[in-house]
Amino acid sequence: MRNSIVPLAAAIAVSISLLSAAFPAHAEGEHGNGHGMHKIGEPGKVENVTKTISVEMFDNYFEPEALDLKEGETVRFVVTNKGEFVHEFNIATAAMHEAHAPEMEMMVEHGVLEPDRINWEAAKMMQKTMGHGMHKEGNSILLEPGQAGNLIWKFPDHAELEFACNIPGHYDSGMMGDIKLSH
């Protein structure tokens, strides 16, 4: 038992380290953002919304498949999970999605993310025993089948962004789309 705890603790430490770098406390550098991270934008305010986009999540694809937006635009996303599995709509860079994958895998391993539901009791236990369980970031929404939710996001200038589902296996199977920002 003791030998299995050490690798798990090391994996958790690496995951937390990667996530701390990839997901700063504020999406756009209120803390200086001097680490060379791409600015991905920031949570938007409802009074600044200039466009509303409906996004439907199916099992392993999004509709629409790509987004054409304006730099600096504030968008309300009405996200609906029309699939049979839990899905995530997450706005980030490709590198940030890759760095986020270990956390999502850990949530599956600890029973927080089940194929068709979020196990909130397991999330509470993970929070209690490990210090984290469910992430709440302004650039992401996690939904069970049949659920819908809103996400308001203010896009930056000059960023290479994509939206994706980071549930293990979903991104790799093509559940991602490009975000094109223009002037």
pLDDT tens for 63-106 read 999 999 999 999 999 999 999 999 999 999 999 999 989 989 99
The answer to whether position 33 is within a domain reads: no
Q: Establish if 20 belongs to a structural domain.
A: yes
pLDDT attached to residue 33:
34
Domain-embedded: residue 68: yes
| For residue 116, pLDDT beyond 50 | yes
The pLDDT of residue 158: 87
Instruction: Give the pLDDT confidence score for residue 135 in this predicted structure.
Output: 64
Q: Which domain holds residue 91?
A: 2-28+38-182
Around Cβ 64, how many Cβ atoms within 10 Å?
Answer: 12
Instruction: Decide if 8 is inside a domain.
Output: yes
pTM of the shown model: 0.78
Give the CATH number, domain containing residue 88. 2.60.40.420
- Hey, which of 60-64, 105-109, 156-160 has the most confident mean pLDDT? 60-64
Contact 7/128 with Cβ under 8 angstroms?
no
CB atoms within 10 A of CB 3: 6
CA distances 53 to 68, 80, 101, Å, are 11, 11, 26
Give a yes or no: residue 147 inside a domain. yes
Q: Once rounded to an integer, what is the mean pLDDT over residues 43-52? A: 97
pLDDT bin (cut points 50, 70, 90) of residue 129 is: confident
Q: What's the rounded Cα separation, in Å, for the pair 150 and 31? A: 26
Higher-pLDDT residue of 119 and 134 is: 119
